Every structure is written in C-alpha cells, then in structure tokens.
Chains A and B, each alone.
Chain A
Amino acid sequence: MAQIDIAGLTKRFDSGAAAVDHLDLTVQDGEFLSLLGPSGCGKTTTLRCVAGLERPTSGEIYFDGEPMVSRGVFVQPEKRHMGMVFQSYALWPHMTAFGNIAYPLRRARLDGTEVAARVAEMLDVVGLAEYGGRLPSKLSGGQQQRVALARALVNRPQVVLYDEPLSNLDSLLRSQMRREVRRLHDALGSTSIYVTHDRTEAMALSDRIAVMQAGVIQQIGTPREIYTCPANRFVADFIGFDNLLKAEVVVSERDGALVRLGGDGPLVRCATDRAHPPGSVVELAARAGAFRLAPAAPEPGQSFRAQVRTVTYLGEDLELQVQAGEIALLARIRDVDVRAVTQGTVPVSGDLVNLSIRPEELVEIGA
C-alpha cells in the first residue's frame, strides 16, 4: 500500500557528528524491512525521521512519491498516518488497554460502535480479549507489548514502524511475539520498518535486512544473502562469523580456491565465484560451528592439524580455542560428534586435533 523512498537522509545532532549520513533506501510496498545494527549506529534515528519525530538535517523522504520531508516540506508526524510500536511501549498510564487501542480510532472520528468492534477484534487478535478493562500498570510486560502492537495496527496504517519493540521481553516471549508480529504484517499487508540489534530477530522477521553502522548502510539484502555473503568485515563480525581470516590463494579453481590461512597456516579449500590469481590475498570468514573434527589423518585441502588451547563445555556443544600455525581459531562442535570421533575422550589443553571445514562454509567477504 505504500512504498517508502529515502534519499540522502542526514541527521546531525548538536554535537556535530552525523547520526545518519547520506542514507538512501527504498522500502517496497508490503515489504518487511529490518534496520539491524549495534546501538548508536543510527537505525533508531532513521526510523524516527521516517516517523516525523525527528527533523532530518537534510535529505528527502517520500511515501508513494508524496513528499514527507523535502525542500521546504515537513509533514508533521500526526499527518503521516502510520502506526508505531515503541521500545518502552509508551502506553498511556491513565487509559485502559481498551482506551489505548481505541485512541487512534477515536481521534480519527470513527463512531462508537465501529470503534468498539474494531478494538474488540484487535484485542482478540493479540489474545487479550479479557484484558480490555485493565490499566497498563496491571498488565505484564508481554501483555503491555501486545497492547502497544494492537494500538499501532488498529487503524490499519499503510506504514508500521517498530522501534526495538521486543528488547524488553524475555527470550521465550520474544520468539512468540516475533511470530505474532510477522503474522499481523502478513494479514494487514502494510509496509513495515523494524529496528533491532538482534540478528536472529531480524532474520526471522524480515524480507530484507539493512545492516547499519556509523549512520551508513553497510549491506542490504535478504536474510540469506546477509547470513551467507557478508559484504565487509563489519557485517561478517556483526552477523556472527567468529573467525575473520586473511588467506593467500595457492590454486584458483573453477568454483573455489585452495588457500593458505595466514602466512604459514594450513591449506584449506574455500568457495568463491571470483577468480583470484595465485598469490593474491583474500579475506575469509567462518562460523565457529562450521568446523568439524576429522577422524582421519590430515590431508592438505581436506583437513588440518591444530593445537587445543582451551576447552569450554557448553552442554550441547564443546567450544575449542585452537591454534593452527599462527592462526587462532574458534571452533564449536557438537559434544556427541566430538565423542564419536575420539571414542569418548574429550580433548584437553595441549592436545592435537584434526579439523575440517566445508568449502562453502568458508566464505569470502565482499564476494
């Protein structure tokens, strides 16, 4: 129902440094887009500029081609017809759950019976049918969150903005509410922008994710693209690649390369679409969970030998800090797999182990 175009958006606070720096972004009609990044990366500021709660220093924002912020134009937030879920919920403490949800409808001058019907429907949708008469202070955190969600969606806005709405909930409620948010988005067909620092949340919810840092979008793509092909070191690190490595190409093949990790490290195979001349240096990333314990003796390109520095028992997994040549690696291996390979003995500090990694799990950054 609404496409959002952001062009050259810049927001500078009094201190001078730009919180958002010449940001360009288009959110498609009906799309669920997440702004993902660490705190202070400018994601919330971007969202608040879209909401109209913050006046951009420069740049333009359009809804379906209609200027919201442009040269000489600034549409007040109350005129933008959006819904928003706040991090602190921002439920009005003097109104009941029903009153909070009814507020946008009443202000839009809907008649009483219509208001009552829509609020009742919305309360039902978020599973709070019996709680309409309660004051926010008499609701639990999760229930308050549902009321806030219902309030944002009740007037069927074309654009819904979410400012870290689930960060104050415990993990169980969080995954439950996550499904709820996505379900409501699909049901209403609105365009959603979702701000979060939790990558799992962004993955689970979004059609596309924009990873931000220092007021700039570092990478934008589907969750799979972001997860498997990080555009740069920052994204790789933030999205959970525990091992960021430099490697030297030894042999370049059709669908990958044989590389040497570090200067004198082990030879491994990695997947890359680009052809690199032998001797060139590439940046690689691997998740700790990508490593496996190899049963056989090391074989160049297949597996390599490494010395264990520390072992941490995590229950399901065993976390090993290992040293292979000058390269320090972090490997997380399922405890049962480790015991299967070692016939029940657990490696201890100083032991030598054989590790392997699949080429497609050793990805080239920026490929």
Chain B
Amino acid sequence: MPGGTPVTTRPPSRARMSALPAPLRRHGARPLALLGATALGLVILVLFVYPAVMVVVGAFRTSSPGFPGEWSVQGFVDAYTEPATYELLWNSTAYSFSVMVISLVLAVFFAWVVTQTNTPGRRFVTPMMVTLITLPFLFFGISWAMLGNSSTGLLNQILRLVVPVEEGPLDVRSWPGIVAVAVLKITAINYMLMLGVFRTLDPALREASLMAGVSRTATFFRVELPVLAPVLLALALMGFVRGLESFDVPLLLGAPAGIEVFSTQIYDYLRNHFPPAYAQASALSVLVMAIMVVLVVLMWRFLGRRDFTTLGGKGQRVELLDLGPRRYLCTAAIVAFGLLALAFPLVQLVLGSVQSVFGVLSSGFTLDHYRTVLGEPGVISALQNTAFVVVVGGLLAVALATLIAYIVQRGTSKMRWVLEGATWLPWAVPGVVLGLGMLWAYLSVPGLRTLFASIWLVMLGLIVVATPVAVRLANAAIAQVHRQLEEAARVHGAGRLRAVIGVVLRLILPSLLAGWLICGVVMAGELAVPVLLSGPGSQTVPVVLLEMTESGRSSEAAAVFTLMLAAMAAVLVVALAVRAVGTRVLRARPAPATLAAPTTEPSPLTGSVPTAAPAREPSPAVPIRTAAEGD
C-alpha cells in the first residue's frame, strides 16, 4: 500500500530531528559570528579607512606626524594660494586624459583584433599583455629612462644611424614621453578587461544587425559600440584614475625635466622640503582624494547598470572577420607594440647591466656591475626585505582578502557593502597619498611610533596596497564554488568550519595560490608606499632602484632590476611547474587524503559530492581552473 508507507516512516525521522540540539547551537553561534564580523570590520577600518581619514586630519596640523603641533589651515592656504597648484591640476588632468584616451583606443583595437579578426599573430597578444601587467610601472620608468635618453639611449643610438642629429631625436623626459610610457602598461590593463567583455558579448547581437542588411563596419558603430558604451565609459574613468595615481613614470622621467603631476608634487613636499611640508602635502592629497571619490562613484554607477550590458549569449563560435591584406597591418601594430613595451625595454635593461660604460656599445661587456651591487649591504638587505615582505605580506593579504570575500558573498549582514567598499579605498587613492596617510595614522599613536621605518610598517602598507587586487581574485574564486557544495557538506554531517575549510577553501586553493603570486608581484614592484614608509635597513628593491637612478648609477640599477626580474621569473616558473605537477597528482589520486580522510566528507575533486548537488551543477574542478587562468 503506497499511501501507507509515509505514515510509518515520518515520525521516527521527526524524532531524530528534534533530538539534535539545532536551535541551541544556533543561539550559541550567533554572538560569536557577530563578534567575528565586528572584529573583521574593525581591522578593515583600521587598515583601509583610518589612514584616509588621517590624511584629512593631518592637513590641519602644523607639525610632522607624531610631533606636538597645533590645528591650523595654513597647509590649505599655502597649497591653494600657490598658482603652481592650479598649473599642477591642469597638467595632471591633461596627462591623465591623454593616457586614458590613448590606452583605451589601443586596448579596444587589440581586443577587437584578437577576438574578431584573422590577423596572424593574434595568439601572442594576450600572453604579451599578461607579461606587461606583471611588470611594475617602475620597470617601464627605469628602462625607458635609459632607452629614450636623448644622448645615451639605445633607441636614440639606433635612430641616429638613420637620422642625422647630434642629440635625440627622441627625448622621453617630456610630456609626450611620460604619456607614451604610461600608456604602455595601462593599455595592457585595459586590454585584459576589454577582452572579457568582447568574449561575453552575444555574437547574435551583431548577426541580427547583419541580417537586417547592415554592413559589418556600420554594425560595429551602431550595435557593438553602443552596447559596450557603459563598460567603455567605466574603463575610461578607470584609466583616468590610474593616470592620476601614476607616480613611478612621472617621477623617473618627468621630475628631471621639471614636469610635475599630483603624486610627484606631494612626494616633493615630503622629500625635498626641510622640514618636510606635511600639511601642504596633505592638503594637496585631500584634493586628489576628492577627485578620486567622484570618479570612482561615477564608475560604479556606469558599471552598476547591469541590465544594459548583459543580455546573455550562447558563447557561440564567432566567424572571424577576414581583413584581407590589411591583416598584416594589424600584425605590424602588434609587433610594434611588443617591441616598444616589452622587447626594447628588456634588451636595454639587460644590455645596460653588462656594458662597461653605460650606453657605450663599444666599451665592451663586463659582469662588474653585478659584483658591485651584490657587494653592497644595502642591496642585499633590500633583496631580503623584498622577499620577506612579498612572501609573508602576500600570504597575509590573500588570507585577509579570502575572509572578506567569503563574508561579502555568503554573509547576509549589512556590513557586506561597507566591507567591500572599504577595501576598494586603497585602490582609489594614489600610493603616495596612502603612504602619507599611513604615516599620519600610525605615527600619531604614541605606542606605534617605533614602527616608523621598520619593515613591519612597510609590510602593512604593501598589504593595504595588494588587498583590493586580492579581494577581487578571491571574490571570483568563491563565486565559482556553488553554495550548494558547501550546504551538501553541512547536510552530510560537516560542521560550518569543516565545510568551509574542507570544501570551499580546498576548491579555491589553486586560485588563492595564484592570488598569492599576483599579490607578491604587485608588492614587489610598488614604489610609492615603501619610499615613504621605509628607512635605512627596511628598504625594498624599488626604493633602492630609485636612489640608484636618481644618483645616476644606471648600470647598477639595471643590474639590480635584472636580478629582481630573474628572481620573479624563477618563482613564476617554479609555480607553474608545481601547478602542472599538482594537477596531475590530484587527477591521479581518487581522493586527497590529507583533507578528506578524517570524516565521511565528500571529495570535491572526484565529483563524488553527495546527493544535494544535482547533476546539472557544473563540475567544480573545471571552473576553478579557468578562474585561475583568467587572472
């Protein structure tokens, strides 16, 4: 009798349910969770919001951070009565705008070439752009300062073989020069963002227009460009923000020629005034922060209009556009960009490090510069400091970011918005301003003054710099793990912590390791924050490089930079090798014993996730891997 069976089976199951102390546990867990969230909120406030607030406060002080002083508006008066400030505002804006427009056009062009056309060599563009993103701004600044030097630069030496001039013909220490060099890297950043957008755009939108009798070119302007408009606008704003923030390139290339932008002017107030003009620097920073806030809010609004941009596609194959002979022009553009952004700077750097006399090809080659720098205690300690900060700080940043991302995605609390917004703050603030803020923030607290110039303060600063990137990576990774995978673990007897560690963390581990690597790269190449926060003995490599370049030791700087790049490349190769071996081992083994052994927990990698995850859920291993590769 089918109708009768449920009646006999239900009561026992109900009895079993009520035997569990579920309601009790729930009441016990809530205050703890609240406490945890509050603690995390405090950490985030202290790390990300407090320094920004202290910049504003500091602008009204008459003294240096940590010294007794008075409240005053003198800083504002000094900074804003100076006509140079308004010239600076105009210069910075013009510079940022140029960088934004050129890099956006180039990024759209390259993304279009790669995704839509049959241009030969398009496969090499993405790896090239990824490499460019990995290289710090400092790399472009230092190598192009050498490359485009009007007398000794490699490029000029070659060009002078054809062009009959004594000096030049290029001088990178000029407005066009710094714009061009900054564009090289920002194009790469924009390109990677454009690529994703171009790939997810439903090809049927274009096809529908073709079917309506409109040519491919007209379709691009009438359909594809308008559909992408909000994203392009957001990218444009992002490019503008990056332009305003840029420090390394204007400092290395512009400052020697008397060219100043916001960041370098703030730095100038702190470094080249005695006593350092903290109030003026802070007053100027307040203006920069205000501009940034407006830009970032605008950007969010454009990106927030989601319904405008996403009307899903099937991810169909796209019939590539045959450009005919013009495709070789596109190839030429790819090659030219590759040469200018990657090949020439690398060659110049390595060549410069082994030339006996910098910039003189006939002087012969030597390894003396490497011997010199490796004999300098300052260089050795900088290398050690950088390694330490990158490894430990990178790990801490990823850990913090994972915690934030998990709460943002899984939590239901209203803190979500605040948490995520706060971690974006350092992204929207130029590194110099962040460094200044951290000086005010920590040196103003009596007990923390000892931190000044210590490696710990440098590390803290770099963690703050790297966290926005890390949060984005962790967010993407956690979003790939369907909530039901975690719920399935809970239903099948795992506690909350075990479910998170055994399932979620286990699944996103490859992405987190990749995130660690990326944070390391960001931290190792950051100049603005350590240059303000470090002292003798706590310098990182970029700070040493800046000092060497400023004192004209180009060969030694090239040698140190080559060493650092070699070390980064070595780490990358090892990481890739480990990943290749790791995936093979994980595939071969039926279940990862270390994590799944103690209980009846499911093994996510073998796909034996129990019944609660229906068959139509994507296999977890695949999206994770794509997420890691998308970085």
- Residues in chain A within 8 A of chain B (CB atoms): 13, 51-55, 76-84, 86-94, 103-104, 107-108, 135-137, 151-152, 155, 161
What residues of chain B lie closer than 8 Å to A135, measured between beta carbons? 307-308
- Residues in chain B within 8 A of chain A (CB atoms): 202, 204-205, 207-216, 218-219, 222-223, 226-227, 229, 307-314, 317, 319
Among A87, A88, A135, max chain B CB count under 10 A is at: A88
CA distance A103 to B219 in the complex (A): 11
What residues of chain A lie closer than 8 Å to B223, measured between beta carbons? 92
Nearest Cβ distance between residue B215 and chain A, in whole angstroms? 6
Closest-by-CB residue of B relative to A53 is: B207
Closest-by-CB residue of B relative to A154 is: B212
Given contacts A78-B213, A87-B314, contact A93 B308 (CB under 8 A): yes
B215 touches A90 (CB 8 A): no
What residues of chain A lie closer than 8 Å to B219, measured between beta carbons? 78
A93 touches B210 (CB 8 A): no
List 6 additional A-B contacts (Cβ < 8 Å) besides A103-B214, A135-B308, A152-B211. Answer: A55-B319, A78-B212, A88-B311, A88-B313, A90-B208, A91-B311
CA distance A89 to B312 in the complex (A): 10
A82 touches B311 (CB 8 A): no
Interface of B is mostly: helix
A13 touches B319 (CB 8 A): no
Closest-by-CB residue of B relative to A13 is: B317
Closest-by-CB residue of A relative to B211 is: A84
What residues of chain A lie closer than 8 Å to B308, measured between beta carbons? 93-94, 135, 137
A90 touches B307 (CB 8 A): no
Closest-by-CB residue of A relative to B205 is: A90
Closest-by-CB residue of B relative to A103 is: B212
* Residue from A55, A79, A88 within 8 A of B312 (CB atoms): A88
Interface of A is mostly: loop
What residues of chain B lie closer than 8 Å to A52, measured between beta carbons? 210
B207 touches A93 (CB 8 A): no
Nearest Cβ distance between residue B20 and chain A, in whole angstroms? 36
B213 touches A90 (CB 8 A): no
What residues of chain B lie closer than 8 Å to A13, measured between beta carbons? 317
A81 touches B213 (CB 8 A): yes
What residues of chain A lie closer than 8 Å to B214, measured between beta carbons? 78, 103, 107
What residues of chain A lie closer than 8 Å to B313, measured between beta carbons? 88
Closest-by-CB residue of A relative to B223 is: A92
A88 touches B212 (CB 8 A): no
What residues of chain A lie closer than 8 Å to B202, measured between beta carbons? 88, 90
B213 touches A92 (CB 8 A): no
Nearest Cβ distance between residue B319 and chain A, in whole angstroms? 6
What residues of chain B lie closer than 8 Å to A93, measured between beta carbons? 227, 307-311
What would be 8 A-B contacts, judged by CB atoms less than 8 Å apart?
A: A53-B211, A87-B204, A88-B312, A90-B208, A93-B227, A93-B311, A103-B209, A155-B213
CA distance A231 to B208 in the complex (A): 36
CA distance A103 to B205 in the complex (A): 12
A107 touches B319 (CB 8 A): no
* Residue from B205, B218, B312, B319 within 8 A of A54 (CB atoms): B319
Nearest Cβ distance between residue A152 and chain B, in whole angstroms? 8
CA distance A82 to B218 in the complex (A): 18
B204 touches A88 (CB 8 A): yes
Among B205, B219, B307, max chain A CB count under 10 A is at: B205
Among A13, A94, A107, max chain B CB count under 10 A is at: A94
B212 touches A104 (CB 8 A): yes
What residues of chain A lie closer than 8 Å to B207, measured between beta carbons? 51, 53, 77, 84, 86, 90
Nearest Cβ distance between residue B201 and chain A, in whole angstroms? 11
Nearest Cβ distance between residue A177 and chain B, in whole angstroms? 18
Given contacts A54-B319, A55-B319, A88-B202, contact A77 B311 (CB under 8 A): no
What residues of chain B lie closer than 8 Å to A136, measured between beta carbons? 311
A86 touches B215 (CB 8 A): no
Closest-by-CB residue of B relative to A136 is: B311
Given contacts A54-B319, A88-B312, A94-B227, contact A151 B213 (CB under 8 A): no
What residues of chain A lie closer than 8 Å to B309, measured between beta carbons? 93
Closest-by-CB residue of A relative to B305 is: A137
Closest-by-CB residue of B relative to A94 is: B226
What residues of chain A lie closer than 8 Å to B312, measured between beta carbons? 88
* Residue from A79, A92, A104, A161 within 8 A of B205 (CB atoms): A92
B211 touches A77 (CB 8 A): yes
B213 touches A137 (CB 8 A): no
5 smallest CB-CB distances across A and B, nearest first, come from A90-B204, A104-B212, A137-B307, A90-B208, A77-B210
* Residue from A78, A82, A88 within 8 A of B314 (CB atoms): A88
CA distance A87 to B207 in the complex (A): 12
CA distance A347 to B212 in the complex (A): 60
A79 touches B213 (CB 8 A): yes
Closest-by-CB residue of A relative to B212 is: A104
What residues of chain B lie closer than 8 Å to A108, measured between beta carbons? 213
* Residue from B204, B211, B215 within 8 A of A82 (CB atoms): B211
CA distance A136 to B205 in the complex (A): 13
B210 touches A89 (CB 8 A): no
What residues of chain B lie closer than 8 Å to A76, measured between beta carbons? 210, 215-216
* Residue from B218, B311, B317 within 8 A of A89 (CB atoms): B311
